[in-house]
Homo-oligomer: A and B are copies of this chain.
Amino acid sequence: MTYQLWYWPGIPGRGEFVRLALEVGEIPYRDCAMETDDGADRLLADMERDRAHPPFAPPYLAADDLVIGQTANILLFLGERHDLAPRDISGRLWVHQVQLTIADIVVEAHDVHHPIASGLYYEDQKTEARRRAEDFRQNRIPKYLQYFNGILRNKDWLAGDEWSYADLSLFHLIEGLEHAFPRRMATVMAECPQLTRLREAVKAIAPLNHYLSSSRRQPFGNGIFRHYPELDGD
């Protein structure tokens, strides 16, 4: 069976957290909205389909007769089905908990450049974005990253001896934050050696390494993690 992933084409976005799990797990999937030039239109049309379990927003994953929405929920499913997370209840819930915490900072990273409304342009909320960015840089990035760094102090991976989908997501979070806030991240990462170690360890996973150098890995752009120099700082 081949999964069908649906997500906005042209940006890594939240779909990327799912892609990384599929790629590293070497799980067959179609990235449906990336297959044709009218992918966004086809995604919108697919979203309109009458379903018992409609997704509120992309990404969602179609699998046999399941349609699963919410990034962390898709990963929970893939983790259980394809051994991308521990099987015991303690490890399974823990990995999901970390994933949900990553999801929290992802929302905040987005809202830095869209503090007023996701439906408005950045240019319409630049003043507010500067204020929010200052708090995000000074307070939120260190709080989250020191938390993740602390978890890894006595472990190779977030859940212990083996990588899980949350490690892949944490890798992508760090990449995204470095793209958006290179100056601030240079400062914060210097105090988070475990995160640097984790990032290198994730990069060394063979299928991921292969994926990162493929055309399937889309560059950051006008998505969640955006680089506006005026929002960055030491």
Contact = CB atoms under 8 A, between A and B. Distances in A.
A173 to B, nearest CB: 13
A115 B117 CA distance: 10
Interface string A120-160: 10000100100110010001000010010011000000000
A135 B117 contact: yes
Contacts of A144: 56
Nearest to A94: B53
> How many identical chains are in the complex?
2
A128 B115 contact: yes
Interface of A is mostly: helix
Contact of A116 (B65, B70, B97, B115): B115
A119 B108 CA distance: 14
Contacts of A53: 90, 94, 97
A5 interface: no
Interface stretch (A37-45, A72-80, A197-205, A214-222): A72-80
Chain A interface: which size bin? 35 or more
B66 A93 contact: yes
Contacts of A139: 117, 119
Contact of A128 (B100, B131, B147): B131
Contact of A93 (B77, B117, B119, B125): B77
B97 A120 contact: no
B54 A68 contact: no
23 contacts: A53-B94, A54-B147, A54-B151, A55-B97, A56-B101, A56-B144, A56-B147, A68-B93, A72-B100, A73-B93, A76-B76, A76-B96, A77-B89, A111-B111, A115-B115, A115-B116, A116-B128, A116-B131, A116-B132, A117-B135, A117-B139, A128-B128, A128-B131
Interface of A: 53-56, 65-66, 68-70, 72-73, 76-77, 89-90, 93-94, 96-97, 100-101, 104, 107, 111, 115-117, 119-120, 125, 128, 131-132, 135, 139, 144, 147, 150-151
- When A and B form their complex, which 5 residue pairs have the shortest distance between CB atoms, in order from nearest? A117-B135, A70-B100, A53-B94, A56-B101, A70-B97
